[in-house]
């Protein structure tokens, strides 16, 4: 089954880290990408670059940035193959953003 690991963190968390911490985090992300269970991943541009689209009263409304004003923002995702939720949670625990105060949301992917 595929699981999406949605990575939330404070904007710029890696830029405020030491060179050694940043290099170690990138090395861990690349190591995860080398695993056979890895499907895909991407880092997202900053939340300020987002545009939200909604329907209201039959009209399409577009607004800049994320809807919710939060400390953490969705910064990226990783799509993995895992036998079950426990295995997906083990993967999530390896995401370097956690060490910098981030959160990883784990969700099963619905295949159509």
pLDDT of residue 68: 64
Is the pLDDT confidence value at 84 over 80? yes
Q: Given a cut of 90, is residue 90 above it in pLDDT? A: yes
Strand partners, 2: 81
Residue 69 has pLDDT above 90, yes or no: no
4-61 residue pLDDT tens? 999 999 888 888 889 999 999 999 999 999 999 999 999 999 888 899 898 999 999 9
Predicted pLDDT of residue 38 = 96
Alpha helices in the chain (DSSP H): 19-33, 85-92
Least confident stretch, 38-42, 61-65, 87-91: 61-65
Cα torsion angle, 60, 66, 68, 74, sign: positive
Residues 78-104, mean pLDDT to the nearest whole number: 96
Taking the C-alpha atoms of residue 87 and residue 112, their distance in angstroms, rounded to an integer, is 23
């Amino acid at each position: 089954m595929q699981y999406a690991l949605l990575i939330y963190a404070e904007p710029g968390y890696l830029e405020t880290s030491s060179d050694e911490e940043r290099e170690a985090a990138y090395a861990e992300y690349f190591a995860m990408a080398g695993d056979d269970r890895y499907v895909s991943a991407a880092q997202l541009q900053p939340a300020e670059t987002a545009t939200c689209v909604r329907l209201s009263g039959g009209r399409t409304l577009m607004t800049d940035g994320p809807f919710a004003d939060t400390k953490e923002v969705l910064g990226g995702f990783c799509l993995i193959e895992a036998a079950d939720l426990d295995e997906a949670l083990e993967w999530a625990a390896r995401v370097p953003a956690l060490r910098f105060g981030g959160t990883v949301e784990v969700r099963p992917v619905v295949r159509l």
